[in-house]
Structure 1
Amino acid sequence: MDPQARRRWLQGLALGASSAALAGPAAAAPRPGRKRLRLAHPAPETGFDPAQVNSDYYSITLIAQMLEPPLGYDYLALPARLVPRTAEALPEVSADHRVFTLRIRPGIFYSDDPAFGGRSRELVAADYVYAIKRFFDPQHKSGDLYQFEALKLPGLAALRERAIRDRTPFDYDTEVEGLRALDRYTLRFTLGAPDPRFPYLLATPFCAPIAREVVARYGAAQMGAHPVGTGPFRLKRWVRGARIEFERSPSFRGEVYQGQPADQPLQQALAADLAGQRLPRVDEVVVEVVEEDQPRWLGFLNGRYALLQVPFGLVNHVAPNGTLAPYLARRGVRLQRQSMPDMGMSYFTMTHPVVGGYTPEKVALRRAVSLGFDQTAYIEHVLGGQAIPGQSLIAPFTSGYDPAYKSGMSDHDPARAKALLDAYGYVDRDGDGWREQPDGTPLVLEKASQSTQRDRLANEVWKRSMDRIGVRITLRTSTWSELLKLTRSGTLMMWGFAWSAASPDGGFFLDTAYGPNAGESNDSRFALPAYDRLVERQKRLPDGPEREALMREAKNLLAAYMPYKVHGHRVLTDVLQPGTRGYWRHPFMRDTWRFVDVPADDEPAA
């Protein structure tokens, strides 16, 4: 977007906001006295079944408000600190880091649901066993199975293999060594290999319980529309891909904030505000899916949303030089900025005949594309300058991240890119200005894309970058959910998005290039035995210099083979309305809505 057009667009935002504020909301019968937290998501959800959402960040965030894993995080502690959630205490751990035992707190109940036949249903240890077994059930084709396969839980892989081999339903009733309910409230995990960081997984929605009666009533195919959990909120209404409404669950046990806040001004102020407050603090949460940046921002300016992540293209307008713009400060809007443990990337599908493969010319092509891509322009124009240039997959706040580590991942050098292409036979044979492949066939990159404003800006950077090195690039445009399906099936040549860590374990990012995870978290389908062995070795070690050295070797291999072009680690900017309290963007927690408070809302619920 040229500067003049951008100025006109920003002026339009301000004028639109003024008009919307004058017009006010559509007339409808008010419901005074309700506290309704209104939020906007920039991408649609895929559903509410942990076993079937395939690491979709937005769906996982929604699930986390309803379904509770055994552990969680202290909301205001930094560094991040695990705390019990439905468990009575942190797990007991064997000396070899293979056996983890925890006790589920008695007296926790699911939200009322017809599946329970009008009776209250208590949470028990067997619910966690059943929920995790569902990831191994072949009918779910879970893209997140890799998180449990890596644990090598004895017996579970055999149950899955039997169901596939015999084409029979998955056997949920056979007890296995790797995952057992010892009694009504005691849960034991026995890993096939040591994993000192396993408890982090117990704080994710992937380890949230599922009541077997719910699946029996609604069926596996409909589970994504019928989440029933023990958390502070329950699903009230769902308009797929448009609007999700939650309400306070009458069955929730309630809790009062307790924690050890970091010795920083924001966390200390939030702790003072939360002291003695019973959670959740709001009666309802309404999430609207608004994919385009402009209407999301206008919604915030009009007071519709209690808080909002500022679209990257607007950060310099909202917070020039990191300071909130005066017109927002006068309204009492508040600003928060937070580096995130995520990595934005573009991947090359390693099984694709054009960009995939491990031969020298294929490696040279990917490295040349990486060198030709203008990383600085991407961060500036697409991410509003709000990112740390990426040197590896591993993100800040996680083990294995080294701010001093430097690879060629962030280099932009069109001259070197052209020389590399020339050396390996990617030259213009017919004089049309575009390079061909070494065998003389056309060299055409096909990059998948959504149709949002941000994607269009990214596509402009890609097009200009590839034009400079004589490589033709075309676009394949579709929706987020469809592109995610195509990614899992390995049918795209190139696409990209961001992975966000759910724990301080940087091994999570290394797993996204681990060969056995192809079709799950390994979007590129990278498969290099030497890399896989490094991933497996570091997983068994406690944090420390030996593990860090192995993780560095793994990062070096990824920079050499370039299955991923890592763009950067984002810095997110949030704005909060004057009456919004209790919020900050925790690096790893997803279940944070219960801490947020807003004024009573007289706006209609429709």
Structure 2
Amino acid sequence: MRLPIRVGSSRHAFGAVLAWILIGAVHGALAADPAKIIRIAFPVAESTFDPLDQRDIYSAAITEAVFDAMLQYDYLARPPKLIPNTLEGMPQINTEGTEYTFRLRRGIYFNDDPAFNGARRELTAQDYAYSLRRHFDPRWRSPWLFQFEKKIVGADDAMERAKKTGKFDYDAPIEGIEVVDRYTLRIRLTQPDFTFIYVLATPPSAAMAREVVERYGDDIAAHPVGTGPFRLAEWKRASKIVLEASPGFRSLRFDAVPGDDAESQAIYARNRGKLLPLIGRIEYAVIEESQPRWLAFVNGELDVLERVPNEYINLAVPNGSLAPNLAKRGISAHRGHEPSLFFTVFNMQDPVVGGYTAEKIALRRAISFGYDRDAEIAVIRKREAVPAEQPIGPGVAGFDPAFRNPMNGYDPARAKALLDLFGYIDRDGDGYRERPEGSPLSIEYASTPTLLDRQYDELWKRSMDAIGIRFTFRKATWPDLLKAGQLGKLQMRTIGWLANIPDADNFLQLLYGPNAGQSNDSRFSLEAYDRIYRQAKRLPDSPERNRLFHELSRLAVAYAPWKLGIYRIETHLAQPWVAGYKPHPTMRSVLRYVDVDLEKQRAVAR
């Protein structure tokens, strides 16, 4: 698939530049150059533009660009470092770690919208208070409630009242969410939580205007109105998303702190002090299949290719180094481990694969031993992955590189022995096993209809046939699978989790019982796990907390609610005219910091 390349007349170009200058004059700062455009592709369709409801990294990329959380990460600092976003400075935290005070910068405005009746709408502390309250409103069924539930004093009581009355009272006071004055917000926690500050840098913590949400109601997901560097300019569902630089965006300059590496130093030297965003427009195309996405980049129709498809990794970076033909064109490559984990979820409430008895645990372990992960890494992923040993992704606080999983690896003989031992045997001679009580053993695996997922389906089918387990497949789009998984309607599926907080807690909460229906898609619920997890939550990053994390990992391995998969090695490519691009471990969108060298772009085009 080729992406359209627009060529405008000189009259239209002059008009655009004139409008750009006038907008900058009105709002006191020159808007980003509209001629600077970044074209990029998503491999799956967006699911929502509501920060409260986004559950995938692609929708999060849009919401991060349009909305503002109070905190964000320094673009260049590694490991990730929190910095103020809409705040005057970092929040004040009491010595007990239970009270946070935030002071907002003045003069930050929402993008224009009919909900504001023609007036400029300033960001206030009340907007963050309202946005936090939305997570406790049962109407919205927030998938991120787990980040706030039972943590903010009085908020859960407000949620319970709303469940009884049928309506959440946004005007009733909540002790733990105090608007001190127009620009000051105070949050009080029920107990110390040393990762809570990171939550306030994630998209679900971004500010939304109450009047916008009330105007659009259930259609709010299609009306993103934020204070961020970009605004929605055009949208064709599951096809195209266009963002343009917000004309009223605050005066914010590039001041990222560079690391010791040459790349960060060069980016800092080039962009230091420049107004953000550096580009005027982002064009996202939804291209689900790998081949047209790869060809669009090679043909210069995409400016950035995030996560090079596995099928083309050897063309892009053979033996881990940028291909000579791409290097000759000036294309840059960015490679490394993300703080991510891929795993196969077993629905623990399912009557076939779920449960905590010995035979159910044995079935899940047998499936894990029977799946040929080595073939996945070698053939499908082209060795751009390594086996995952624990339910924590690399590169975050609490990750233990020495942890070894005794239930890991490909061992079909062991899988067959487990199945035989616990009564999963072939009683009728058709080549497939029955359950211990004699009923047919058949497992349904959910995946998307893409060519890539068909490869995984074939590998799963071949692996399970080899140990006598009948496998069938349920096909649906990615957004539909997200919803079905959250509702507990899938038996098995493989997903990836990319940390939005640089801490092991962000992974281990995926198995915390009370998070079922939110982030805990396996619906795993084990009293011992939940108790240890709560103990760890009360501790700062420390050897004692790491010891508890080790215990949680051992329990997850023992009960096998997941079949641990891989840690992915990611490769991103950028065209020679893209300046300052550097993927970030936890930020979903870095394009506000990226520039386009128009002279170089024109020279390449010639």
Interval containing the TM-score (normalised by the shorter chain): over 0.9
CA distance in 2, matches of 1:583, 1:276: 17
| Contact 2:579 2:597 (C-alpha < 8 Å) held by counterparts | no
What SS class does the counterpart of residue 34 from structure 1 fall into? coil
Which residue of the partner structure matches residue 50 of structure 1? 51
AA matched with 2:456: A
Match of 1:87 in 2: 87
In structure 2, which of residues 578, 583, 592 is the aligned counterpart of residue 580 of structure 1?
Answer: 578
Mapping of residues 82-161 of structure 1, within 5 Å? 82-149=82-149, 151-161=150-160
**What is the CA distance between 1:382 and its match in structure 2?**
2.6
Distance 1:477 1:191, change over 3 A: same
2:515 aligned partner: 517
CA distance in 1, matches of 2:406, 2:241: 43
Unaligned ranges ≥5, structure 1: 1-15
Helix, strand or coil: the match of 2:552? helix
Aligned to 1:568: 566
Shift of 1:408: 3.1
8 Å CA contact retained: 2:278, 2:592: yes
> Residue 275 of structure 1 is aligned with which of 272, 276, 282?
272
Separation (CA, whole Å) in 2 of partners of 1:290 and 1:434: 38
SS of equivalent residue, structure 2 residue 579: coil
Counterpart code for 2:105: R
**Secondary structure of the corresponding residue to residue 519 of structure 1:** coil
Q: Deviations over 1:298-328 (max 9, x none)?
A: 1101111111021122112211101112221
Runs of 5+ consecutive residues of structure 2 not aligned to the other structure: 14-33
Q: What is the distance in 1 between the residues matched to 2:230 and 2:487?
A: 34
Q: Name the amino acid aligned to 1:48.
A: F
Given that residues 337 and 571 in structure 1 are in contact (C-alpha distance below 8 angstroms), is that contact kept between their aligned partners in structure 2? yes
SS at match of 1:408: coil
Q: What is the correspondence of 1:188-587 to structure 2 with a 5 Å cutoff? A: 188-219=186-217, 221-309=218-306, 310-587=308-585
Deviation of 1:65 after TM superposition, in Å, equals 0.3
- Report the alpha carbon displacement of residue 25 of structure 1 after superposing the two structures with TM: 4.8
What is the CA–CA distance in structure 2 between the aligned matches of 1:78 and 1:234, rounded to whole Å? 29
> Which residue identity does 1:163 align to in structure 2?
A
3-state secondary structure, aligned to 2:291: helix
Identity of aligned residues (%): 47
Give the 3-state SS of the residue equivalent to 1:454 in structure 2: helix
Describe the shift of the 1:244–1:26 C-alpha distance in structure 2 as closer, same or farther (beyond 3 A).
closer
Asked if structure 1 preserves the Cα contact closer than 8 Å seen for 2:49 and 2:224, the reply is yes
Tell which deviates more after alignment, 265-274 or 291-300. 265-274
Letter paired with 2:294 = W
The question of whether the paired residues in 2 share the 8 Å contact of 1:343 and 1:570 is answered with: yes
Structure 2 partner of 1:37: 38
**Distance (Å, rounded) in 1 between the aligned partners of 2:251 and 2:56:** 28
Distance 1:566 1:416 in 2: 17
- 1:216 Cα shift? 2.3
- Contact 1:375/1:410 (CA < 8 Å) preserved in 2? no
The letter of the residue matching 2:49 is: F
8 Å contact from structure 1 (residues 68, 86) kept in 2: yes
Residue 80 of structure 1 aligns with an amino acid whose one-letter code is: P
- 1:388: how far off? 2.5
Q: Deviations over 1:442-468 (max 9, x none)?
A: 111110010112111111221121122
| 2:579 partner letter | R
Q: 1:336: how far off?
A: 1.0
| Aligned residues between the structures | 578
Structure 2 CA distance for partners of 1:428 and 1:115, relative to 1, 3 Å: same
**Matched residue SS, 1:392:** coil
- What is the deviation of 1:29? 5.5
TM-score by length of 2: 0.93
1:328–1:113 Cα change, 3 Å:
same
Letter paired with 1:37: I
Instruction: State the Cα deviation string for residues 500-520 of structure 1 (Å, max 9, x = none).
Output: 111211101111011001011
CA distance in 1 between counterparts of 2:75 and 2:504 reads: 20
Partner deviation per Cα, 1:483-505 (whole Å, 9 max, x = no partner): 11111111110012111111211
Where 1:346 maps in the other structure, the secondary structure is strand
Higher mean C-alpha displacement, 537-546 vs 24-33: 24-33
**Contact kept in structure 1, 2:57 and 2:588, CA below 8 Å:** no
Whole-angstrom distance in 2 between the partners of 1:248 and 1:180: 33
Q: Shift in Å at residue 556 of structure 1?
A: 0.3
CA distance in 2, matches of 1:317, 1:563: 37
Aligned equivalents of 1:589, 1:25: Cα separation in 2: 28
SS at match of 1:256: coil
**Equivalent pair of 2:52/2:203 in contact (CA under 8 Å):** no
> Letter of the aligned partner of 1:50 in structure 2?
P
Q: 1 CA distance for matches of 2:200 and 2:191?
A: 17
For residues 190-213 of structure 1, give each alpha carbon's deviation from its aligned partner in whole angstroms, at most 9, with x where no partner exists. 111111121111111111101111
Amino acid corresponding to residue 38 of structure 1 in structure 2: R
Decide whether the 8 Å contact of 2:334 with 2:572 is kept in 1: yes
Paired with 1:599 and 1:79, the residues of 2 have a C-alpha distance of 28
Cα deviation digits, residues 118-151 of structure 1 (max 9, x gap): 11111100100101111111111111111111x5
1:163 is paired with a residue whose SS is helix
1:165 maps to which residue?
A: 164
Decide whether the 8 Å contact of 2:432 with 2:470 is kept in 1: yes
Q: Which residue of 1 aligns with 2:21?
A: none
Deviations 1:320-367 (CA, angstroms, capped at 9, x unpaired): 101112221222211110210011111000000110000000000000
**1:162 corresponds to which letter in structure 2?**
R
1:194–1:540 CA contact under 8 A, matched in 2: yes
Deviations 1:528-559, CA, capped at 9 Å, x for gaps:
01001111110110101000000000000000
The answer to whether the 8 Å contact 1:512/1:521 transfers is yes
Deviation, 1:257, is: 1.0
Q: What letter is aligned with 2:194? A: P
Q: Quick one: distance in 1 between partners of 2:137 and 2:448? A: 31
In the alignment, the residues of structure 2 paired with residue 142 and residue 409 of structure 1 have an alpha-carbon distance, to the nearest angstrom, of: 34
- Judge conservation of contact 2:444–2:471 (CA < 8 Å) in 1: yes
| Displacement after TM superposition at 1:28 (Å) | 7.0
